[in-house]
Structure 1
């Protein structure tokens, strides 16, 4: 739009030219045409003068604007340079902090590696002493060390060596304890087993035994597996593998699984009172998963106990997962939606698809130690056993080595980065006892717990839960192993 000042200047120029023409017409005596020509000439000169003056003024304004712009650009360049300097200083600090952190991490990794080597050496030494004691030969001094020279002190405290030594439980003692706890029933026909099974289900003579799963190499109890045992009318014990097939054929496996789930939940509630980090593994048969009516009853019970889902793991066989039908897959998805996690046992080969298992809710896989350590069986697998734990860990699945019966197997499994172990080396399955019952009969519960914790507790130095029963066993064999380990560790 035309500015008001420009309009005003134009009006003034017209008035000045008209006034000049009137003055010349009235005073100088010029004719009207001559006066008009003079007035138009004056108006033209005024217009030209105004245009030239405005052009000069615009040039001056543009020059000042360019100068202001150059000054602003210079200020902006100075600010950018200052920001660049500050950014370079921050990058230098971050690089120095990263290098310092990497050096600290490398130092810590080196110390952890040295500690792991020392622990392995201690385990090998204890295993060699155990083998010597089994053979009846006196323990020989370490190579390159005179027999009369006092042992050197290890870089870690003597208490840690004592704990590691007392954690070593000989497989012979564990096996003897398991044999003493369970009274095996003589061989009998399927009809007799079926009759005993029906009577046991009706009279609630299904017992729960707990076997711990420990972390490696600390041997701290992290989980318990519930193992089912049947007592006949003469209180003779039948193992699960002796009656599970007959129960599935007779259609009783659903009732058995429901009873076992009920007992496992009761055990888990008692365990979580003392330790919130302990979980329970409960075995579920494929027939229970495939039967809609039986599964609906179990699902209602599990739905009512969803608060225990993070600590309650449902365990299935590898064959069950490989032969899942539409109904079984739907039932597994229903359990996974309610927060329950799954475990796979009875693994016969290492052809495992971890991504598919993780999508179905599997968080644990139990592989026999012999399968992991046998090179002939691992050569036919899709993956080397040393890489299995890392592969499963990428998908959130933990590897558990089961049926461990010797210290040498533990040393080899540590090289495979196995985090959890289970077997008679750590503890055999032990039966439950009623709440508050004493394991020693006449002694008080506190003394009974002290006796159980010192002789039969899990080999991690922690107390055994009150739900597990087991007689106190104090053998010279275990005491001798602890003394040998303390002697190898040096004076406290």
Structure 2
């Protein structure tokens, strides 16, 4: 109450004086009273207008200051959003590496398109050079049709996997010279130009890369096997197929590991070709194990880039459907690839479930969902021993499940845990304490090449050719669609 009265004390005083002074004047001198009230009202109006003008000037001044502050704040925020000089260079380097990979994949597409066009040109030239047959009498035409031979496709280096594993029977009669000059060839699969998963390292030594490509295109690629044993019995229960490359100029007794040549093949867009050749040899080894009556599995780690090549997955699915002996083959993919599968890739992998096995390897962390992995058809998880024995060194790899319970949680979902990279015998008892039932590493056996007589085994008997085969015709639009 007191602050209110103190604020309006002047007005109350003037009002009381006006009531005391002008009250009697209004009774005795009404005219003078009216004039006095009018003058007082004019004075009050003038004071109010002056106060309003002062307040308006202050508001405009405050508005200008707020506008100035807002412009300064916007300038500060814009400057803070700009990348710092020290962070711009790594980002630019990463973009350059990604562009390098894109150019490598595009060069692979152009190379394959060139092969397709040259093959079609050769076939067209052969058809044009073929002499026209002499007209035969009407009665002899049915006999010529019945005696026409069936041309067998010639498998090439880029043929589908089913053509690699099954050889076509020889023709029943020799071909005419003009027709035998240009044998029909299947169109090689085209790589898909997509952004790779991890960008490879930039080129360092062009001469060394040329040696690697020369060895890869020649006979330098080999398949080595490293056993997977059970603990504590150390009985061999599976093998892992590993790619090795013998490069000219190096020690002939040693072969280069994937870390030495895989980045070069990724830059050149040749990883899919590597997987095709390795899968061909892995299939031969699996059939050899099946003929011996062994239930030993063979695992091969597929490159993440091959997931973006639909023809490879389709050929692999067709091969496992046509050959039940490949039930011992297990396809391994990195944890990041399993997590990023799209609908198309899931649809291509679904027909293989139950016919071959799937495995998860190269994990980034230990956050495994056993039910989700089982729903994908994964029956094996391979984890480096360092992540199991020393998880505190990589805290980001820890999961909600304790390390001691990881093997049991996976086993309840029908998934077996394999510890890899074991080179020290002292780590084996610790792994047994963690209930790890399977292990792999140099402590048990080093990777060794497959015997030559196994790889040169005869392929399985091919089915009889169709009675009336027709030439396979592909439009150039379909070739471009497969390339894109």
Bigger relative CO (Cα 8 Å, ≥ 6 apart): 1
Relative to the length of structure 1, the TM-score reads 0.47
Scaled by the length of structure 2, the TM-score of the pair is 0.48
Which structure's CA Rg is the greater one? 1
